Structure 1
Amino acid sequence: MFSPTARPDVLALRTSQIREVANVGMARKDVLKFWVGESDQPTPAFIREATAKALMDGETFYTHNLGRPDLREALSAYLSRLHDQPIAFERLGITSAGVNALMLVSQAVVSPGDKVVVTTPAWPNIVEIPRILSARMETVSLDPAQGRWRLDLDKLMDALTPDTRVLFLNSPNNPTGWTLPAQDRAAILARCREYGIWLITDDPYERLIFGPGKSAPSFLPLADEDERVISTNTFSKAWRMTGWRMGWMVLPKSLVNSMGVVIEYNTSCAPDFIQSGAIAALNEGEAHIADLRTELAVVKDQVIGALRQMPGVDAPEPEGGMYAFFRVEGVTDSVAFAKDLIDKAAVGLAPGSAFGPEGQGWLRWCFANRPETNAAGLERLAGYLAARQK
């Protein structure tokens, strides 16, 4: 009898340590849950109302593989405003979530045995998706220094060798909040051009930055419309649409037709009526994004400030995103610590080791919650740490 198991590359995938920890406390009503990356508030009403109307109007049919033309036109206008240069309708593809966009572009450009480089700590999906496709992964670690996370550009350049097929960059980064400095883009893009490396950026937090400007530094204004640069993105974070599963890709023109085929053999198309909600988000959402950025800046200062007051806690400043990534002195097993924190303090955090070995000893706190919820969690954590030190 042949064993009915998955192929070795799938069996070797990391299981989600976030899910492992969440399973311990998910059923407990007393647990304050900061372990996943989403707001504790629902999608704005104007998006829900537009989507509900579309559903009741019967927008329930198949659409174009790359997305409805009216959504792609709205997205083109939004991106062109955001990046102060035209982003053509013809370069856009709508996907069933941002993670779906990452999988689709990986299927399109990654072959078994290809070398793929990614900066870490990182959202596990960025590392594991190429592994599903039997790629060889090489990681370049971010480092905490002077109270912030930093990328050693020389280390990244050393990793980008002629045999590299793809570089994945997530900035602002999940979980650290690190954001690529604008001045580093030219050198990275030049190296990718020199060796023919695909540069794929995962940009869900690009609007959620804590400094000035409309968005985090992007490669789209620097890249030609037909070179090996792809931006993947999602409606999940900036518009509080995590459960909607709606994303997009900005593609080189020569890849668009092939991507339509890849979408066909994965999902065929994104849901019709949800695309109407996405149009409303793009056309009417700037005031919401501005309010969300203000809210996140307040709770970021609240959580980081409180963590830094706790003995033995190191909490670097995030430059974007919605997370505090911090370590506690003496913690060597993030999963065990997170489970014990649920048991003894009813606080749910994501273990840092879920984001790679560089995160061992660290924890991730999603602070995209009401201030009073964060305050309650901080009080419980402080009490837990005080009891732990006795």
Structure 2
Amino acid sequence: MTSADYVKPSFNPLVEKLAPPPIPSVQAWARSYDGAHGNLIDMSQAVPGYAPHADLLKWLSDAAGSPAYAGYGTIEGDLELRKVYAEHVGSLYGTMLTAANIHLTAGCNQAFVATITAIAKAGDAVLMTNPCYFNHETTLQMMGIEPRYFPCHAENGFVPRVEDVEAALDGVKVLALVTPNNPTGAVYPAEVISEIFELCRRKGIWLVLDETYRDFIEPGAGRPHALFDVKDWRDYLIQLYSFSKSFCIPGHRLGAITASEAVIEQVAKVMDNLQICAPRTPQFAVARGIPALVDWREENRLEIGRRAAAMRAAFARQNGWQLQAIGAYFAFVRHPFEGLTSSQAAERLAKDFGIVTIPGSYFGEGLEQHLRVAFANVDAEQIAEMGKRLRRIDVDQM
């Protein structure tokens, strides 16, 4: 027999047609920078720009070297962390939660995958913002779930308008929101979130609320929303969270779902097929870190605020650049290069000036003039240096 006698197997077409992961392509541009303007300023992937607390590193080390944490854990997550986290969330939002309301996952992306798998099926529709977090979009696409979008507008700071949400809700199974937002950084006001939640309740739609960056909302802002005050919140709300940013451990992959016991029961079925249980080493460490590292986490919140202030100062002196939204971890910036797409602009900035950002087009339609800037990655001095480099650019020569 010859090769012509054999039939080649095929890939899943839903996966095959996805674009490659965006972060590696941006990092490839960064590797082409020759250092002409100084050190690389990487403001692409959202990673904490400071180290984990020394105590947290010790707890991680203790757990990693312990036989007790080398075996399987409970599918929903270790009871100790689920209790501690339930108490923490309950205190933050002024509600009563128990471990039965918590499911731990290997990061917030997995929390989203497990949640969507539990509540939606192929052929259903999930509504998201435009711009949206690209991993949410590709998750839906590879599962055969239809992503739908409603617009968020620069003139409104990329905060959703309730009327835009209402106009897009028909035929939707789930509404997925991210606040503070990725990619724009916009922090959705509590009253807007409440109005949107009321729409979901009236129409029988799940609200999946990703609050990965909530620990970096400006001090004094109060609780992020009042949804847990609603008597029947358990029938409509699923909250997602990541420990990666607050505890500076993105490599340890730990996230959480807060929901009704009925939702947790369905998610556990999914999780058993994804990876049995979340990584146990960070569960041990974070269970101790939540009560013990309150002051350290608060100082990190203040530091992110200082970096946000540095961003505002850097763009206040720019010619043609517009800082159109900024929040807990990100800024969404309109670039002045009218002849370039967002990918072309981001590539030139990375290769020629050592400033690494993410093209706006990676996050949705009509965003060719935008770049996502993850300012939490770098300190105020690096942000000021970024501003100096931008002022050196001859816009007409780009």
Please, what TM-score do these two structures have when normalized by structure 2? 0.91
Is residue 122–residue 144 contact of structure 2 (8 Å, CA) maintained in 1?
Answer: yes
Give runs of aligned pairs for residues 1-390 of structure 1, distance below 5 A: 1-26=6-31, 30-58=39-67, 59-145=69-155, 148-161=157-170, 163-210=171-218, 212-217=220-225, 219-222=227-230, 224=232, 226-318=234-326, 320-329=327-336, 330=338, 332-368=340-376, 369-383=378-392, 385-386=393-394, 388=396
Distance apart, 1:149 and its partner CA: 2.7
Is residue 125–residue 148 contact of structure 2 (8 Å, CA) maintained in 1?
Answer: yes
Q: Structure 1 residues 6 and 182, CA, compared in 2 at 3 Å: closer, same or farther?
A: same
The letter of the residue matching 2:333 is F
Distance apart, 1:214 and its partner CA: 4.7
Q: Structure 1 residues 389 and 312, CA, compared in 2 at 3 Å: closer, same or farther?
A: farther
Q: What is the rounded CA distance, in whole Å, between the counterparts of 1:363 and 1:272 in structure 2?
A: 36
Secondary structure of the residue that 1:164 maps to in structure 2? Answer: coil
Q: Structure 1 residues 3 and 116, CA, compared in 2 at 3 Å: closer, same or farther?
A: farther
Question: Bigger shift: 63-72 or 194-203?
Answer: 194-203
Is residue 140–residue 156 contact of structure 1 (8 Å, CA) maintained in 2?
Answer: yes
Distance apart, 1:115 and its partner CA: 1.2
Q: What is the rounded CA distance, in whole Å, between the counterparts of 1:309 and 1:123 in structure 2?
A: 29
Distance apart, 1:122 and its partner CA: 1.7
Distance apart, 1:231 and its partner CA: 0.5
Distance apart, 1:33 and its partner CA: 1.0
Q: Structure 1 residues 331 and 252, CA, compared in 2 at 3 Å: closer, same or farther?
A: farther
Distance apart, 1:280 and its partner CA: 2.1
The letter of the residue matching 2:262 is S
Q: Structure 1 residues 361 and 218, CA, compared in 2 at 3 Å: closer, same or farther?
A: farther
After superposition, what is the alpha-carbon deviation per residue over 1:113-132, rounded to whole angstroms, capped at 9, x for unaligned? Answer: 10110012121011121111
Secondary structure of the residue that 2:310 maps to in structure 1? Answer: helix
Question: Bigger shift: 358-367 or 244-253?
Answer: 358-367
Distance apart, 1:46 and its partner CA: 1.8
Alignment-derived partner of residue 3 in structure 2: none
Distance apart, 1:336 and its partner CA: 1.0
Is residue 253–residue 279 contact of structure 2 (8 Å, CA) maintained in 1?
Answer: no
Is residue 235–residue 260 contact of structure 2 (8 Å, CA) maintained in 1?
Answer: yes
The letter of the residue matching 1:89 is A
Greater fraction of residues in helix: 2
Q: What is the rounded CA distance, in whole Å, between the counterparts of 1:331 and 1:288 in structure 2?
A: 45
Q: Structure 1 residues 109 and 331, CA, compared in 2 at 3 Å: closer, same or farther?
A: farther
Q: Structure 1 residues 276 and 26, CA, compared in 2 at 3 Å: closer, same or farther?
A: farther
Question: Bigger shift: 334-343 or 281-290?
Answer: 281-290
Is residue 115–residue 138 contact of structure 1 (8 Å, CA) maintained in 2?
Answer: yes
Q: What is the rounded CA distance, in whole Å, between the counterparts of 1:314 and 1:344 in structure 2?
A: 21
Distance apart, 1:7 and its partner CA: 2.0
Question: What is the total number of aligned residue pairs between the two structures?
Answer: 386
The letter of the residue matching 1:325 is F
Q: Structure 1 residues 268 and 366, CA, compared in 2 at 3 Å: closer, same or farther?
A: same
Q: What is the rounded CA distance, in whole Å, between the counterparts of 2:366 and 2:390 in structure 1?
A: 23
The letter of the residue matching 1:39 is P
After superposition, what is the alpha-carbon deviation per residue over 1:184-232, rounded to whole angstroms, capped at 9, x for unaligned? Answer: 2333222212222111111101121126235422533336353121011
Q: What is the rounded CA distance, in whole Å, between the counterparts of 1:225 and 1:364 in structure 2?
A: 33
Q: What is the rounded CA distance, in whole Å, between the counterparts of 1:331 and 1:105 in structure 2?
A: 41
Q: Structure 1 residues 244 and 215, CA, compared in 2 at 3 Å: closer, same or farther?
A: farther
Distance apart, 1:388 and its partner CA: 4.4
The letter of the residue matching 1:23 is A
Please, what TM-score do these two structures have when normalized by structure 1? 0.93
Q: What is the rounded CA distance, in whole Å, between the counterparts of 1:225 and 1:122 in structure 2?
A: 24
Is residue 101–residue 264 contact of structure 2 (8 Å, CA) maintained in 1?
Answer: yes
The letter of the residue matching 2:103 is G
Is residue 64–residue 281 contact of structure 2 (8 Å, CA) maintained in 1?
Answer: yes
Distance apart, 1:166 and its partner CA: 0.5
